Amino acid sequence: MKQKLFFLFALLNLAFLANCSSSDDQLEQRPQPKTIEHLRKVTLSPDLKFGATALTAVVVSDPAQGNTEHNYLVVQDKIAKAAIVLELTNAVRYKVGEVVEINLEGATLQEVDGEKIVKNISGVNVKVTGEQLQVAPIAVDLSTLKKEVPYWGPILVVLDDLQVDTQDQTTWQGSRQVSDGIATAALEVRKEAQFADQPIVKKLATLAAIARMDEKGVRLMPRSLEDMTLKISELKEDFEQSSSSSYDVKSLLFRTGEWIIDGGITAATDADPKNGAQSIRLQGHVSNELRKGILSMNFDLDEPVQTLKIHHGIYPAKAEVNNENPTLLSVEISMDQGATYHSIGEIEVDTKSKELKVSEFKIEEHKQGKMRFRVVNISQPFENGNRPRVNIDDIIFGF
């Protein structure tokens, strides 16, 4: 009997020791990554659980702005190109730039819709260190981003010169395509975002955003309206900043740059059609080299112009109003800093209207690079050699 009890006790003891050994092995096998970069390389498995860690990272998402999912916190390595989403089990109360120490003990790593997410982690295990670090976004193009973001994770990036497919929407809320001319990606603004109801634009000079992944590809999620630098879509010259009463050729500095008025003045009388305080009254003379009747830019626009609008009207003197010949302006473009020009169209000025009219010209799509414009009075002159006087105001360049 004693012998049977001894053997039974021995078997129980061996079973207990084996169980303890198995538990110890499981604990020893729990990954303990030291950096976000190491964390992203952990092999996923259904029974994966992390051991204790003390890795540090920087908060790059902005929970207060609302353009990340509820209880999601995006953190990025302080040095390496690596970031991860933490799905916290409690409220997210962190600020952009806060350095945090993360203890992953007991947490898991799962792939959700193509994106790796740390789950089952409490805010207690994500402690603010008191250090602040503003992470500089990685400058990248969309083609490169699509290749790298599966390895980098939800990293903070900046992209330049993007076209936005507004889908005829008036606000940022929703998902839409953006393009850099080569590749496209989705730009996403959640309805909970503080800036979701702000007016949308068709062009962005720069976009800073967290590059997220899902099964469809890259999602760009700006943190705030400040992350989206609007591209100037129009530039207006209103000819208000300088003045001259001499018809002889001269250069005047206006808001867009230096303009040459050859055979014209800045006109501010009650008779002159104008927007604002004054306009350019352009005349010209067939044989006076100081009065050719040309209004021209003495500078280039670096960005290709797509449309050009010119406001124009007749100076209401008897000779101009009763002129039987058409009053004509030639609108011309130069691609070589003003060395040569060619016409993109003509304007026939309405001699019976007291108001300024507007003419619009579309610039050929192949016109790329620096460009400048001029307006030439090509009207048939009167007997004295002077051409009809024309008022020109508000020239608007559309990009």
Q: Give 138-231's CATH code, choosing from 2.30.29, 2.40.50, 1.10.3470, 3.30.300.
A: 2.40.50
20 contacts: CB under 8 Å, gap ≥ 6 = none
Mean pLDDT for 164-172 is: 92
Whether pTM exceeds 0.85: no
- The predicted-structure confidence for 118-151, as pLDDT tens digits, reads as follows 999 999 999 999 999 999 999 999 999 999 999 9
| Dihedral of the alpha carbons of 297, 298, 300, 301, in degrees to the nearest 10 | -40
Percent of the chain with pLDDT over 90: 83
Judge contact between 179 and 166, C-beta under 8 A: no
pLDDT at 269: 97
Report whether pLDDT(1) > 70. Answer: no
Pairwise CA distance, residues 4 & 35, whole Å: 55
- The predicted-structure confidence for 344-357, as pLDDT tens digits, reads as follows 999 999 999 999 99
Q: Encode 173-196: b = buried (16+ Cβ within 10 Å), e = exposed.
A: bbebebebeeebbbbbbbeebebb
Check residue 125 and report its DSSP letter: G
- The predicted-structure confidence for 179-221, as pLDDT tens digits, reads as follows 999 999 999 999 999 999 999 988 898 999 999 998 899 999 9
Judge contact between 291 and 283, C-beta under 8 A: yes
Report whether pLDDT(62) > 60. Answer: yes
Per the prediction, the chain carries an average pLDDT of 91
- Domains of the chain, residue spans: 36-132, 138-231, 235-398
Q: pLDDT-derived band of residue 399, with 50, 70 and 90 as boundaries?
A: confident
Mean pLDDT for 245-260 is: 97
User: What's CA 30's distance to the chain center, in Å?
Assistant: 43
Q: pLDDT-derived band of residue 338, with 50, 70 and 90 as boundaries?
A: very high
Report whether pLDDT(5) > 70. Answer: no
Report whether pLDDT(154) > 90. Answer: yes
Report whether pLDDT(303) > 90. Answer: no
Mean pLDDT for 80-95 is: 94
| Dihedral of the alpha carbons of 203, 207, 212, 216, in degrees to the nearest 10 | 20
pLDDT at 283: 98
Q: Encode 297-322: b = buried (16+ Cβ within 10 Å), e = exposed.
A: beebbebebeebebbbbbbbeeebee
pLDDT at 111: 95
pLDDT at 365: 58
Least confident of 14-23, 25-34, 41-50: 14-23
User: Nearest-5° angle of CA 78, CA 68, CA 101?
Assistant: 30
CATH number of 36-132: 2.40.50.140
Percent of the chain with pLDDT over 70: 92
pLDDT at 232: 67
Domains 36-132 and 138-231 share a fold: yes
In CATH, which superfamily holds the domain spanning 235-398?
Galactose-binding domain-like (2.60.120.260)
Q: Which is more confident, 267 or 28? A: 267
Report whether pLDDT(11) > 80. Answer: no
- The predicted-structure confidence for 42-53, as pLDDT tens digits, reads as follows 999 999 999 999
Q: pLDDT-derived band of residue 28, with 50, 70 and 90 as boundaries?
A: very low
pLDDT at 317: 97
